[in-house]
Amino acid sequence: MNAVSLGPLVLSGERFAILAGVFVFIIGTGLLATRVSPRFNLWSSVVAFGGIAAARLGHVLTHWEYFQDDPWRALAVWQGGFSWIWAVPVIVAAMVVVLRTRRERVWALAPLAVGALVWTTAYQLVSATEPLPPPHLTLSALEGPPVDLSAVDGRPVVINLWATWCPPCRREMPALAQAQIEHPDVRFLFINQGEGDVVVRRFLTNEDLNLQSVLFDTAMEVPRHYRTVGIPVTLFLHADGRLAKAHLGEIAPEQIATEIARLN
């Protein structure tokens, strides 16, 4: 769900769609460079790299309150976060400056349209979220009694699947811990995958993390239920327990806030 496995590489649906669209765009402009004008080589590079940079900049500026204390995080593009409307001025400027004739500019619309179509279609096919109910599963907790995942209490739920040996899990944990404080009306469950009490307690102490509802999924049944691949995975559930969104990979603070807002 929401992921594509290419051998040992696991991509989220969003990232796979972006790569598929860009790949088709590059192939199309390569053909135009050999048959219409060699200027399409430069134009495609400006559009691809400049468009991605502009889209990332747009995302950072739109969510500046999440970046102002750590502006270098703007370079963490692996977290995702792009405002693609910001790429439009780059595309238009490149068409005006790099492409010299009307014929070239008309031809340029073809790889743009096909790339966008592939991108959109791939995203719709791969990123569709099935509104699965919570699993009928009871997990032991680091503190307190076991927790029945199928029991709802009227609040939306954020489930994070993680492990102490996972670098992206470790990087995103402070953001999730802060979100837990900022959203007391949301239930957070941190479900460790395949590790034990001693390892997890040591990690939380060393990292000075105060997490509520740390649970142990030693048999890794939760990812099997939701059909997710790899960790970290962050699941966003409606108040009735239905799955709203599954985010594969490291998640950024602004993405957490955006997905929680969509649950209300």
Q: Is the pLDDT assigned to residue 7 strictly greater than 60? A: no
Q: How confident is the model at residue 14 (pLDDT cuts 50, 70, 90)?
A: confident
Q: Are strands 157-162 and 187-193 parallel, antiparallel or unpaired?
A: parallel
At 4 the pLDDT is 61
One-letter amino acid at 247 equals: H
What is this structure's pTM?
A: 0.85
Q: How confident is the model at residue 117 (pLDDT cuts 50, 70, 90)?
A: very high
Q: Is the pLDDT assigned to residue 2 strictly greater than 70? A: no
At 11 the pLDDT is 65
Domains in the chain, please, with CATH?
3-126 (no CATH), 138-263 (3.40.30.10)
The tens digit of pLDDT for each residue in 146-192 reads 999 998 888 999 999 999 999 999 999 999 999 999 999 999 999 99
CA distances from 5 to 16, 67, 228 (A): 10, 31, 11
Q: Is the pLDDT assigned to residue 10 strictly greater than 70? A: no
Q: Is the pLDDT assigned to residue 264 strictly greater than 70? A: yes
Which residue, among 162, 197, 167, has the nearest Cα to 177 in the 3D structure? 162
User: H helices within 11-159, ranges in order?
Assistant: 13-35, 39-45, 51-62, 87-97, 102-126
The tens digit of pLDDT for each residue in 45-78 reads 999 999 999 999 999 999 999 999 889 999 988 8
The tens digit of pLDDT for each residue in 196-245 reads 899 999 999 999 998 989 999 999 999 999 988 889 999 999 999 999 99
Beta strands per DSSP E along 156-252: 157-162, 187-193, 214-217, 233-237, 243-248
Q: With contact defined as beta carbons under 8 Å apart, do 261 and 179 qualify?
A: no
For all residues of the chain together, what is the average pLDDT?
Answer: 91
Residue range 7-21: average pLDDT?
Answer: 74
